[in-house]
Structure 1
Amino acid sequence: MKKGKVLSFGEILLRICPDTNGEWLQDNSLPFYVGGAEGNVATALALWDVPSAYMSAMPDNMMAKQIAAYLESNRVDVSKMLYNGERIGLYYLPKGKDLKNAGVIYDRNYSSFSNLKTGTIDWDEVLKDVSWFNFSAISPALNQNVADVCKEAAEAASRKNITVSIDLNYRAKLWQYGKQPHDVVPELVKYCNVVMGNIWAAEKMLGIPVDASIINENSTKEHYLLQAENTSKAILQQFDKVKTVANTFRFDHAEQGINYYTALFNDNKLFVSHEYFAKKIVDKVGSGDCFMGGIIYGLYNELSSQETLEFATAAAYQKLFIESDATKMSAEEIKDKLKIEKSL
């Protein structure tokens, strides 16, 4: 049976990167990147030869059309893009910083995407020729209307037996409309087949507790992996449609650098990736999106669970050395890097 496209749904964003010393004021220059979690996934999948579409909302103006053309040049299908509203969402983040960093500044209120409402999108039309629908928990963090649109979309996709995946991205600064994640996200996950995140995000968003003895960055790897297995089983027990759960572990140590590994719970078994170490990296933004894309890539292409996990992990790790929101590394390059890493 011919597979359809993977449709990623979420807000298109511009990431503006001021330097921390304020030199941008003297230089009259602000580096920027086209981003947004779901757009990063869509770009990665297109690069990896998976038929990839992206749906967001942008104003109907010259700048938005240029962004759409840029995405198309990266082989992303943007024919489902909505053109309405007044502005594109922005966020400001110094180079090399993490989105969880307290210094991130969001400028997303009243954007075209944040003004979406239910009943305005013909999901039957949008989901034609789609066999996988991907979104993240960042969108429902914007406001109740967008959360309702996400539910509308996930429900429609699930009804059509389309595979639905969600990334449990948690952005504390976005949850400002009177709802906590655990009030909203479970209603979305009940339509999902694949869940990606980490043990702490599952606790925050789904109410699945992390063992009290686990302390960030101070517990053993075995302890973290046991928790990943327990969290995954709890998600499967709580949500009937979920079949696959992926967890990432990235620890930043000031002196030792970064270590990174992941786990995938599938077919009632926990698979564990190769572990990576790096003294220095280039850009933390988009690594998780790259991992999400890698999981979709593997499952879409019917790779084994271990192959899927290793590809996704290698892709996410290599993204840490690429200065952009989305990866620029082909699937073959990722596989070659993985072979080299495993031979060391």
Structure 2
Amino acid sequence: MNKKVVCFGELLLRLSPALNRQWIHDASMPVFVGGAELNVATALARWKVLVEYSTALPDNYLTREICEHLEQQHISTRPVHFSGERIGTYYLPQGTDLKNGGVIYDRAYSSFGMLRPGMIDWDEVLKDARWFHFSAISPALTEQVAAVCREGAAAAAAKGITVSIDLNHRARLWQYGKKPDTIMPSLVEYCDVVMGNIWAANALLGIPVDPEIHLHGSQEDFLAHASRTALALHKQYPKVKTVANTFRFDQGDGGILYYASLDTGGQQYHSTRLVASTIVDKVGSGDCFMAGLIYGLYHGHNPQEVIETAAAAAFGKLMEKGDATRQDMETIKKRISAHG
């Protein structure tokens, strides 16, 4: 029986300077190994799911050390494609998130960004796979990388492998002259599971969104809107069986309100409201949610358990520093019980 989850995307080095010139004075800047799909793979590996990571990296000593590190985390690097000359990086000041203006991308001409259709042997990458996951970050890089993503999703779908996508929208990445809603639909048509939020579905797929809902929306309003978004996705993309939407709102001075919904089988399920007065790091929370979603669906859990697990995992990631979660599943289940 096919059991592996294959996560495909760009491995990135996140350089995280302490501002007010502190990084200059210290002559030091923390470096985190990450990337959306790798964060998903890391969480799944911690939760004892067989996972492989597919990316493109240059053949040098940094790559070898990274691959050794991933293997130690129980992430198979068997499908890594060695090509090109550089690893993509981005700078993110400490205490901010990727949606802030503080992010600086340095990904041009990276090994992953130089991928072209036909370079990856998808039969080999997808060998013994049960699930193929990618995100909207990759197609944002170049039209050629978008074509590679389409190639991979189509190959997985043709083999009967479950295909999932995270509709993470990074407006700063879409710089090659194509609007997201002209690229993404031809990728989502191969997907069984779609995760995102009502605003990303609008920006990436043209699904209607109420532009003023944030001014007056209650939780009930947001959840109703999520159902409308999910219905539109189901109608536009018949292969899509499951749609998850997340809602994360800043509260007070550094606090957060978090909840999520899951639409599947003609019904909606939503998580418990999760509230914290302070958080540690916003980076990777959505990736942790995606991992929780895959984990629950992979194990055949009931929809309510799936959405509670995904939301609790994402909420817990907000309390951790770094790109990928270090939570085990027992910790996540305790959080679900504690929040009722």
Bucket of the pairwise TM-score, normalised by the shorter protein:
over 0.9
Identity %: 55
Query: What letter matches 1:112 in structure 2?
Result: S
CA distance in 2, matches of 1:277, 1:334: 15
What residue in structure 2 maps to residue 317 of structure 1? 315
What residue in structure 2 maps to residue 248 of structure 1? 246
What's the offset of the Cα at 1:5?
Answer: 0.3
What's the offset of the Cα at 1:247?
Answer: 0.1
User: Over residues 87-145 of structure 1, what are the superposed CA-to-partner deviations in whole Å (9 max), with x where a residue is unaligned?
Assistant: 00000001221100011000000000000000111111111100100000000000101
What residue in structure 2 maps to residue 268 of structure 1? 266
Query: What letter matches 1:80 in structure 2?
Result: P
Query: What letter matches 1:196 in structure 2?
Result: M
Query: What letter matches 1:313 in structure 2?
Result: A
What residue in structure 2 maps to residue 82 of structure 1? 81
User: Over residues 243-278 of structure 1, what are the superposed CA-to-partner deviations in whole Å (9 max), with x where a residue is unaligned?
Assistant: 000000000134372100000001110101001111
SS at match of 1:99: coil
User: Over residues 212-253 of structure 1, what are the superposed CA-to-partner deviations in whole Å (9 max), with x where a residue is unaligned?
Assistant: 44136x421111111000000000000010000000000013
CA distance in 1, matches of 2:198, 2:124: 36
What residue in structure 2 maps to residue 92 of structure 1? 91
SS at match of 1:215: helix
What residue in structure 1 maps to residue 188 of structure 2? 189
CA distance in 2, matches of 1:211, 1:57: 39
Query: What letter matches 1:288 in structure 2?
Result: G
What residue in structure 1 maps to residue 103 of structure 2? 104
SS at match of 2:259: strand
What residue in structure 2 maps to residue 45 of structure 1? 44
Counterpart contact for 2:195–2:290, Cα < 8 Å:
yes
Write the mapping of 1:103-122 to structure 2, written as runs, cut at 5 A. 103-122=102-121
What's the offset of the Cα at 1:282?
Answer: 0.4
SS at match of 1:53: strand
Query: What letter matches 2:228 in structure 1?
Result: N
SS at match of 1:33: strand
Write the mapping of 1:1-344 to structure 2, written as runs, cut at 5 A. 2-215=1-214, 218-255=216-253, 257-342=255-340
CA distance in 2, matches of 1:281, 1:215: 22
Query: What letter matches 1:229 in structure 2?
Result: S
Query: What letter matches 1:262 in structure 2?
Result: A
Q: Which runs of 5+ in 1 are unaligned?
A: none
CA distance in 2, matches of 1:305, 1:63: 41
Query: What letter matches 1:107 in structure 2?
Result: D
User: Over residues 148-189 of structure 1, what are the superposed CA-to-partner deviations in whole Å (9 max), with x where a residue is unaligned?
Assistant: 000000000000010000000100110000011101000100
Counterpart contact for 2:79–2:124, Cα < 8 Å:
no
CA distance in 2, matches of 1:153, 1:13: 20
Query: What letter matches 2:194 in structure 1?
Result: V
What's the offset of the Cα at 1:211?
Answer: 2.3
CA distance in 2, matches of 1:215, 1:303: 32
CA distance in 1, matches of 2:330, 2:75: 19
Q: CA RMSD in A?
A: 1.0
Counterpart contact for 2:254–2:278, Cα < 8 Å:
no
CA distance in 2, matches of 1:134, 1:153: 10
CA distance in 2, matches of 1:313, 1:113: 30
Paired residues, number: 340
Q: TM-score, normalised by structure 1?
A: 0.97
CA distance in 1, matches of 2:253, 2:7: 37
Q: TM-score, normalised by structure 2?
A: 0.98
CA distance in 2, matches of 1:181, 1:197: 14
CA distance in 2, matches of 1:94, 1:214: 30
